[in-house]
Amino acid sequence: MEWTEAFKVVFAMVASVGGASAIILILSSWLVKVWGQRILSRERAELHRLAKQHEISFSQLHVERAHVIKDLYEKLVDLYDSMQSLLNYFQGADEPSLDEKAQVFRDAHNEFIRAVARNKIYFGKDTCEIMDRLFFSSRDTYIDKTTYPIDPRHPERHAVKGLYQERTEMWEKAREAFKKDIISLKERLEKEFRSLLGVEN
């Protein structure tokens, strides 16, 4: 066998192997592309499903939180109104007695605290701190108001020396705390609630 024939045989072998390799390469490239597209399509569909599921969960959480905020805010307003009514300097003759107002205040305070305790999970640390401070300020105001007889016509008011003065000082302290702390905390909590609901301030 001559060199030219050997070269032709080798060239033919290389060409056939190269051609087969090229065909295999083209086919494998095509298969990889098809499989890749299928896998990518499947993954894309799964990601879309997860995103939708997350969106629905987030939406449900937002709706639940909105209900919680609504309930808490109603209780906050009841607490605020009952406190303000009790602390007013002027008490109308047709209004409930101070003892009755103190009872309403106490009940509103307890309702607010129970609602906060049941729903703290929906709020961040800062919001919870505001609610806690509101709780303590409200509690302290109630204690200041009820340490001495609430009704100014109570027989002990003038019978016990200094009681009237002490009672007056405690009530003034409670009024000052209301103006200084309660109103400010209520406004801060309202701002937090608006922010959580996406309402612009």
Q: Dump pLDDT digits (tens) for 65-117.
A: 889 999 999 999 999 999 999 888 888 888 888 889 899 999 999 999 999 99
Two tokens at 161? 């020396």
Largest interatomic CA distance in the chain? 140
Q: Any idea which of 51-55, 111-115, 180-184 has the lowest mean pLDDT?
A: 51-55
Residues 135/181, Cβ–Cβ less than 8 Å: no
Whole-angstrom Cα distance, residue 162 to residue 166?
A: 6
pLDDT in tens, 7-25: 566 556 555 655 666 666 6
- Quote the CA–CA distance of 128 and 170 in Å, as a whole number: 28
Q: How is domain 60-197 classified at the architecture level of CATH? A: Up-down Bundle (1.20)
pLDDT per residue as tens digits for the range 55-67: 665 677 778 888 9
Across the chain, mean pLDDT equals 81
Supply the pLDDT for residue 166.
81
Position 134 confidence tier, pLDDT thresholds 50, 70, 90: very high
Q: Where are the alpha helices (DSSP H) in 88-124?
A: 98-119
| Axis crossing angle, helix 98-119 with helix 3-87, rounded to the nearest 10 | 170
Angle (CA) 199-107-144 rounded to 5° is 100
Contact by Cβ (8 Å): 135, 113:
yes
Residue with tokens 């051609």: 19
Alpha-carbon span 113 to 127, nearest angstrom: 14
Going by pLDDT thresholds of 50, 70 and 90, the confidence category of residue 148 is: confident
User: In terms of pTM, does the model score above 0.85?
Assistant: no
